[in-house]
Structure 1
Amino acid sequence: MSTALKPLLPGSTLGVLGGGQLGRMWAHAAQRMGYNTAVLDPDAQSPAGLVSHHHIHTDYLDAAGLKQLAAVCQAVTTEFENVPADALAQLAATLPVSPAASAVAVAQDRAREKAHFVKCGVPVAPHAVIDTPEQLAAVNDNLLPGILKTSRMGYDGKGQLRVTTRDELNAGWAKLGKVPCVLEKMLPLASECSVIVARGRDGVMVNLPVQRNLHRDGILAVTEVFAGNVPDVLAQQAIEAAKAVAQELNYVGVLCVEFFVLADGALVVNEIAPRPHNSGHYSQDACDVSQFELQVRTMADLPLTQPRLHSPAFMLNLLGDLWFANTNAAQVEPAWQKVLALPGTHLHLYGKTEARVGRKMGHLNITAPTPEAARAAALQAAAILGIAPF
């Protein structure tokens, strides 16, 4: 049952904790809709801070910085999950904050995240929580081979080790500093996909279409979205599971739920991101409402309409490696003019002045009338940029 809310209208100021590329694209969406934006980030050159009306250069838990943000904003969100939940909780004492600190805290801890999935009744990989030597010794052999992941501060494949034997498990836990970890049984994967949902304070929930994803070295490389990219039954299961996860959290904001598709066709929830997500970037050019506009709408208590995919799309992640594709030392700008000569290409760069291997520098969205045409153009763009084919 939805409840009528009083929206924050354009002209208001919306704030974000974190100044990375997700904050930058959120700021662009908010400004396009007529809002002022404020960013709190310790980096004076943060991509979002450089394009916002207000840029507060403090640590996320700095009391004066948080007070300043609360003074200029009418609502606040976050653009990455490792912003301290305590900062969100402090801001929530004086103004609307979405997502809530409690929801972000779940996403920050893999053990709590797994427990939440179990509570929601969504399928999850067999796993064990390892906080102590006793829990390590009690791990069932059936969980090996597995992937040992730190419970906190893990993203883009960081804080993870593959372990195949009990000796490797013991050594792996020591290598990770004997911090709290989760061991997940390694499952035979066929593919990966994700669903982005947006939920308002009134309980209304909408979703982007299911995104099929390809990861390389733990980092998203390619996303493809079109009707039939995953079987219809599987797509419906993923959407229902994602909505169940958001509903149980009483979530407000944009949430990405990532899934593994197993070799037997079964679906398993992997993890959540309490923010817009790399796999949803295609929505900027292929949907009538992007994930960033959905984030603005949830913050401002504006109506949520079900996004419509109007074009088949591919998204290529642009890592700093591409700036060093043809040289061993000097940074060379990729051949954007050749890429943009291809029909349906949309370049999004994040305003980062220094390219580094593995650093997310931008993304390329490719849209076309048919999935085949979109894939062909995406493969051409990949060849020009030095991205491995898919």
Structure 2
Amino acid sequence: MSQPLAPGATIGIVGGGQLGRMLAMAAARLGYHAAILEPDPDCPAAQVAKVHIDAAYDSAKAVEKLARISDVVTYEFENVPVTVARSLSDLVPLYPPADALDAAQDRLSEKIFLNAAGIPTAPFLSVDGDEELARGLVEFGGNGVLKTRRLGYDGKGQRVFRGAGPEDTRGVVAAMGGVPLILEGLVPFAREISIIAARGADGALAAYDPAENVHRAGILFQSRVPARISDATAEAAREEAFAILSALDYVGVIGVEFFVLGDGSLLVNEIAPRVHNSGHWTEAACVVSQFEQHIRAVAGLPLGDTSRHFDCVMENLIGTDQDRAPALLAERDLMLHLYGKAEARPGRKMGHFTRLFPLGELAG
């Protein structure tokens, strides 16, 4: 893309969930239209987009239509089939690049890529059978997290071992579906953080302040900014995120999750080649949200200011938590965002809210 997209251009988005919804809203604020490819006829993004292509992601006809009506295409989740991404990139500019999807979709490939880029991770081993699992647990002192290499999210497709012996591994691989697995060593981390970073079409880099994250049942519950980490740890997180963006020749926003060890050093847990749940606080505490930042990047516009004007705590509303909306709206200094999902199910993200505090109030 040699010139920024002019107002009135169309940005295609593969995926119609809440992230696609917020991207479409950000695009509209900058004068762009959004076209959504999503098989769910009542998806959250379709409620705010100009065009909704109601079709499977791998429908050749739908992919061709999205490319034809879009000036650039992006995606809101990392499990878009890589073949679809590559097909799109042959027809229309696609950001982030398909190689970023390829690196992030398989946890083994992701760890290999990170280590090759000089980014440290937890120790890991490929697992295809119970014997490999048993050997791996011996190597990791009986402790580890067994994960499906593909498609797991929000704690799904995982099993934790603590002090496990050979008898604890019988039938495990079959019970997890007989799919390719990865065993990661347990990390004695002090806290979990994430950073939202971006790379523009011109190679410019920007990052928001790291967020400290709390998970419940494998699902992100809360993100707190500022994170309780040293300036040196925060700077290291930025530099590692920038190294990942540069290695992938990336354009757009990325989420990078870290384990912070007791001495302040970092291990990357995973990368998400898209806007990220732990960056939702930016829509309330920054002038330019992660969603606008992503649209700016893929549209060829200058990246925006990542300065934070408040301390804040973002919490997800899971399942029937959205019933709290009236009480939350009665609070001062709180931004609420509901996703327009018709059915509240256990474990389903229905919205989020961000409480704002004066700068410095949450420090330490």
TM-score scaled by length of structure 1 = 0.88
Aligned to 1:251: 250
Aligned to 1:79: 76
Unaligned runs of 5+ in 1: 324-332, 376-390
Match of 1:19 among 13, 16, 19: 16
Aligned to 1:5: 2
State how 1:65-214 maps to structure 2 within 5 Å. 65-131=62-128, 135-136=132-133, 138-139=135-136, 141-143=138-140, 144-164=142-162, 165=164, 166-214=166-214
| C-alpha distance 170-125 of structure 1, shift in aligned 2 (>3 A) | farther
Distance 2:124 2:362 in 1: 41
How far 1:200 moved relative to its partner?
A: 1.8
**Number of paired residues?**
361
Matched, 1:354 2:343: yes
How far 1:132 moved relative to its partner?
A: 5.0
Amino acid paired to 1:224:
R
Distance 1:270 1:218 in 2: 14
Aligned partners of 1:163 and 1:169 also within 8 Å: no
Matched, 1:279 2:278: yes
Aligned to 1:267: 266
Distance 2:120 2:42 in 1: 41
Distance 1:277 1:185 in 2: 25
How far 1:241 moved relative to its partner?
A: 1.0
Aligned partners of 2:18 and 2:339 also within 8 Å: yes
Amino acid paired to 2:355:
I
Amino acid paired to 1:173:
V
Identity %: 45
Secondary structure of 2:327's partner?
Answer: helix
Aligned to 2:48: 51
Aligned partners of 1:313 and 1:371 also within 8 Å: no
| C-alpha distance 242-369 of structure 1, shift in aligned 2 (>3 A) | same
Aligned partners of 1:5 and 1:202 also within 8 Å: no
| C-alpha distance 26-238 of structure 1, shift in aligned 2 (>3 A) | same
Distance 1:168 1:108 in 2: 28
Distance 1:350 1:147 in 2: 32
| C-alpha distance 257-170 of structure 1, shift in aligned 2 (>3 A) | farther
Aligned partners of 1:368 and 1:374 also within 8 Å: no
Amino acid paired to 2:75:
T
| C-alpha distance 362-140 of structure 1, shift in aligned 2 (>3 A) | closer
How far 1:354 moved relative to its partner?
A: 1.0
Amino acid paired to 1:168:
D
Aligned to 1:365: 354
Aligned to 1:42: 39
Aligned to 1:220: 220
How far 1:51 moved relative to its partner?
A: 1.2
How far 1:140 moved relative to its partner?
A: 5.8
Distance 1:249 1:163 in 2: 33
Aligned partners of 1:192 and 1:258 also within 8 Å: yes
Distance 2:339 2:241 in 1: 28
| C-alpha distance 29-259 of structure 1, shift in aligned 2 (>3 A) | same
Unaligned runs of 5+ in 2: none
Aligned to 2:290: 291
Distance 2:355 2:266 in 1: 27
Aligned partners of 1:260 and 1:270 also within 8 Å: yes
Distance 1:63 1:210 in 2: 39
State how 1:224-243 maps to structure 2 within 5 Å. 224-226=224-226, 229-243=228-242
How far 1:189 moved relative to its partner?
A: 2.1
Distance 2:113 2:349 in 1: 30
Aligned partners of 2:287 and 2:305 also within 8 Å: no
Distance 2:292 2:221 in 1: 23
Q: How large is the Cα RMSD of the aligned pairs?
A: 1.9
How far 1:50 moved relative to its partner?
A: 1.8
Amino acid paired to 2:24:
A
Post-superposition Cα deviations, 1:66-118, rounded to whole Å, max 9, x if no partner, equal 11111110000000111111111111111100111111011100000000110
Secondary structure of 1:139's partner?
Answer: helix
Aligned partners of 2:35 and 2:52 also within 8 Å: yes
Aligned partners of 1:321 and 1:358 also within 8 Å: no
Aligned partners of 1:148 and 1:182 also within 8 Å: yes
Distance 1:26 1:140 in 2: 42
Secondary structure of 2:168's partner?
Answer: helix
| C-alpha distance 140-374 of structure 1, shift in aligned 2 (>3 A) | closer
Distance 1:374 1:347 in 2: 23
Aligned partners of 2:283 and 2:289 also within 8 Å: yes
Aligned partners of 1:314 and 1:374 also within 8 Å: no
Secondary structure of 2:190's partner?
Answer: strand
Amino acid paired to 1:320:
G
| C-alpha distance 236-305 of structure 1, shift in aligned 2 (>3 A) | same
Distance 2:218 2:130 in 1: 28
Distance 1:229 1:78 in 2: 32
